[in-house]
Structure 1
Amino acid sequence: MKLNHKDFDGSRLVTVCENRIDALSAIQFKDEMRKMIDDGPNRVVIDLSQVEFLDSSGLGAVVAALKSKKSDQSLELASLQPAVEKVFRLTRMDTVFSIHDNASSAIEGAADAS
């Protein structure tokens, strides 16, 4: 599971460089995200623009990442592809996560709020 990250003023953008988060990659995703969150700033945004498929294991891994954050951290999502967005909507996880249309607006929004 390849994840890239870039830090901005008070935010970390984590880009998932895979087209699937499924049963085969969910554990690896969860482990890598835990590292990104543990040493990250108070705000972490996951860019899912390259992820075209997310199954229940993948959804569970994203939820596990949310649960692993510190109490003073936020974990947000950006750039959900239609199939991935549908999974979040059908499971009502879209009410649990802050979801941004794209990564640049998520990061710019944080900069504007500072």
Structure 2
Amino acid sequence: MKYTIDKKEQYVVFTPMEEKLDSALSPKLKSELLTVQAEGYPNLIIDMSQVKYADSSGLSALLVGNREFSRNGGIFIIANPQDHVMKLIKISMLDKVFHLVDSLEEAAEAIFMHEIDGGDQEEDED
């Protein structure tokens, strides 16, 4: 699996450089997300701008990341989801579970707000 990682002070930007998040790549994605979390980074932004397709195993990997980062009071944000991926997230009703934003700037701001609120904010975004 090809990807880039940009480590900031408060968060990590993880960018899969793959067009598909499917059963072939999902185990590797889960592993990489858990590795970042184990390194002590509380917050993660996954930049989905390169991912044009995801299947249920891809969503499952994202759910694992969401659960693990949230478990310790951090936040897991999906930024720049492409149309097909967004449709699948909505069909699966995971748009109520995931923190979804349209840009890395919005994601960074959400992390900033999350940190100010002490990690337990409930947001009412559409």
In the alignment, which residue of structure 1 is the partner of 2:26? 26
Q: 1:49-80 deviations in whole A, cap 9, x for unaligned?
A: 00000001111111122223342221111000
Task: Give the letter for the 1:75 counterpart.
Answer: F
RMSD: 1.6
Higher strand content, 1 or 2: 1
In the alignment, which residue of structure 2 is the partner of 1:71? 72
Answer yes or no: is the 8 Å Cα contact 1:16–1:51 preserved in 2: yes
In the alignment, which residue of structure 2 is the partner of 1:89? 90
For 1:40 and 1:81, locate their aligned partners in 2 and report how far apart those are by CA, in whole Å: 29
In the alignment, which residue of structure 2 is the partner of 1:55? 55
**SS at 2:29's partner residue?**
helix
After the TM superposition, which parts of structure 1 deviate over 4 Å for at least 4 consecutive aligned residues?
none
Task: Give the letter for the 1:82 counterpart.
Answer: D
Aligned residues: 113
Structure 2: gaps of 5 or more residues: 117-126
TM-score, with normalisation over the residues of structure 1?
0.88
- Percentage identity across paired residues of the two chains: 26
Post-superposition offset of 1:104: 2.7
